[in-house]
Structure 1
Amino acid sequence: MSKSKRLLELMLTVNRKRKFTVKELAREFRVSPRTILRDLQELEELGVPLYSEVGAHGGYRVLNERILPPIAFTEEEAVSLFFASHALRHYTAVPFRAEASSALGKFYHYMSADVRERIDQMRNRVDFVIPPRQAEAPHLPLLLKAAISSKVLRIGYRSSGHTAERDIQPIGIYASSGLWYCPAYCFLRQGVRLFRCDRIETAREVEDGPVSLDLREIHLGNWHEASGGEGALLRCRAELTEEGVRVCQAELGARGGVAVRQDGSGLLDSEIPSSELDYFARLFAGLGPSALVKEPPELIAAVRRLLLETLERYKK
């Protein structure tokens, strides 16, 4: 076996084993322990994070960061992956901002000169625009980790002008219209609720909190069905112009409920929680003639009230 092939297979082996001894590797690769020591030193120089442990049960250990094996990309694949990550730059908060930036830098650095030139020419020709937001969401990594590991978090959540503590078990996180959202089981409300991540002021794991639930069957694709809404559900129907369709699709995101006709107009037909009447009233009032609410009567009254208040302000 050539040295270059042995080094590649050795990198894959130590990444898989995580903990090993020189003698084990020497037997596996049928070389001397001295050769393995030299190879391990070269892997460390290449960036493989190895840690040596002394003592009777010592050996080598790979640190927490696993190193992925080399992957061959076509030019088109390389460019598409670069811009998929590059698109995240518009978000003020990303779960793995530092890691994504580091990966993007490595990806760009090791590309051939002609591919880098092509990317440089495309930077100002391709973009993924989102509404500009200044909302910070510093707890995204913890929320995502808790969703994966089924952990309960105690959060300080800002709503209606004040902050209150809640115990939640996150289901996942998603971005929509420049903001991050976290569907989670709320132990206070005893049901699945949607939290805006920029309103989560504090978040931490707790030892004295409620026991975590088995939420493996609930995910980002079906959480809304499991939520039942906060408070009573109201059927919402609204006629939308083409502009109204565009705004509602962008604003409502995963909630959905917008059926688009061939001419570009549409109909919003969805169930909404009564606790969110104010939110939908502001949405439809802001759309003006681009939306006409058909039901429920409570929402129509709330939109009318907002429009009358606005009209009064402009009479002065």
Structure 2
Amino acid sequence: MSKSKRLMDLMMTVNRKKKFTVKELATEFNVSTRTILRDLQELSELGVPLYSEVGPHGGYQVLNERILPPIAFTEEEAVAIFFACHALRHYAYLPFETESSSALSKFYFYMSGDVRDRIDEMKNRIDFVIPSRQAKFPYLSILLDGAIRQKVIRIEYESREGVSARLIQPVGIYASSGLWYCPAYCFLREDIRLFRCDRIRSAAEDSSGTQPLDLRHLHLGNREALLPSEQEFASLYVELTEEGVHQCEAEYWSATKLHRREDGTGWLEGSLPKGDIPFLAQFFIGLGADATVQHPPELIDNIKRRLAEMMERYG
């Protein structure tokens, strides 16, 4: 086995094992312990986070941040990955903000000069614009970790009634129109609730001993399952012009309700939580003549009332 291949295999092995001894590696790779020590030194110089422990139960260990083995990308793949990360720069808050910036810098630094020149030319020719928000989202990483590891999170949440303490178990987080949202099981309400992350004033893993639920079957891909079970629902139907379809395509909540015709027009059809009527009334007023609500009547009445208030305000 060549030295370069052995180093590559050794990098993947230490990532997998996490803790090991020099003798174990020497036996596995059929080389001397002195050779393994030299290889480990080279891996450390390349950036693999190794540290040693002395004593009868000592050995080597890899720190939590694993180093992935080198991956060969084509020029087009490298440019695509760069701009996928570059698109996130408009988000002032990300669950992996520091890491994404570091990865982008490394990716750019190790590209060949001609590929860097191509990216520099493209930077001002392509963009991914989101609404500019003043809101802050400092707890995204805690919420995402809670969703992945099935943890109970204690938060302080600001709603119309004021700030209250809640125990929640996040299902995930998602961004929409420049804001971050977290669907989660609320132990206070004993049901799924949707939390706006900028209204979370504090968040930390709960230490009270509350047992997490098994929510592995819930995720952002099955949105209908995230609807609160205790809410009242109404039947929604809205006719849309082609522009109305385009506007609704940008809305996270409409994905399972939106239907398109061959001429570009379409319609929204599905169940509507009655608690969403005020939000949807405002949304459809914003669409103007590009949306015509046919039912539920409660939504139509809410739209009429808001329009009457606007007419009165403007004489």
Contact persistence 1:234–1:296 (CA under 8 A): yes
Change (3 A) 1:307 1:96: same
Matched residue type, 1:197:
C
In 1: Cα distance, 2:65 partner to 2:75 partner = 27
Contact persistence 1:167–1:209 (CA under 8 A): no
Query: Please, what TM-score do these two structures have when normalized by structure 1?
Result: 0.92
Matched residue type, 2:122:
M
Matching residue of 1:15: 15
Aligned residue runs from structure 1 range 47-126, under 5 A: 47-126=47-126
- Which whole-Å deviations, capped at 9, do the CAs of 1:54-82 have from their partners, x for residues lacking one? 11111111111111111111111111111
Matching residue of 2:306: 306
Deviation, structure 1 residue 26: 2.7
Aligned residue runs from structure 1 range 255-266, under 5 A: 255-266=255-266
In 2: Cα distance, 1:146 partner to 1:55 partner = 36
Deviation, structure 1 residue 228: 4.1
Matching residue of 1:40: 40
- Which whole-Å deviations, capped at 9, do the CAs of 1:92-136 have from their partners, x for residues lacking one? 221111101111111111111111111111112222222333322
Matched residue type, 1:30:
N
Deviation, structure 1 residue 10: 2.2
Matching residue of 1:270: 270
In 2: Cα distance, 1:194 partner to 1:187 partner = 13
Contact persistence 1:139–1:203 (CA under 8 A): yes
Change (3 A) 1:30 1:209: closer
Matched residue type, 1:33:
T
Matched residue type, 2:3:
K
Matching residue of 1:244: 244
Matching residue of 2:179: 179
In 1: Cα distance, 2:314 partner to 2:254 partner = 35
Matched residue type, 1:16:
R
Matching residue of 1:135: 135
Q: Which runs of 4+ in 1 moved over 4 A?
A: none
In 2: Cα distance, 1:246 partner to 1:117 partner = 35
Aligned residue runs from structure 1 range 175-254, under 5 A: 175-208=175-208, 210-228=210-228, 231-253=231-253
CA RMSD of aligned residues (A): 2.0
Matching residue of 1:163: 163
In 2: Cα distance, 1:251 partner to 1:147 partner = 23
Matching residue of 1:30: 30
In 2: Cα distance, 1:188 partner to 1:223 partner = 21
Deviation, structure 1 residue 28: 2.9
Where 1:218 maps in the other structure, the secondary structure is: coil
Matched residue type, 2:132:
P
Sequence identity, in percent?
62
Contact persistence 2:183–2:226 (CA under 8 A): no
- Which whole-Å deviations, capped at 9, do the CAs of 1:214-249 have from their partners, x for residues lacking one? 112221121423424662111122222222222222
In 2: Cα distance, 1:138 partner to 1:86 partner = 21
Matched residue type, 2:265:
S
Matched residue type, 1:288:
G
Contact persistence 1:193–1:229 (CA under 8 A): no
Contact persistence 1:224–1:255 (CA under 8 A): no
Deviation, structure 1 residue 279: 0.9
Deviation, structure 1 residue 269: 1.5
In 2: Cα distance, 1:122 partner to 1:98 partner = 24
Corresponding pairs, count: 315
In 2: Cα distance, 1:232 partner to 1:309 partner = 27
Where 2:211 maps in the other structure, the secondary structure is: coil
Change (3 A) 1:143 1:82: same
Larger mean Cα displacement after TM superposition, 84-93 or 263-272: 263-272
Where 2:251 maps in the other structure, the secondary structure is: helix
Larger mean Cα displacement after TM superposition, 302-311 or 258-267: 258-267
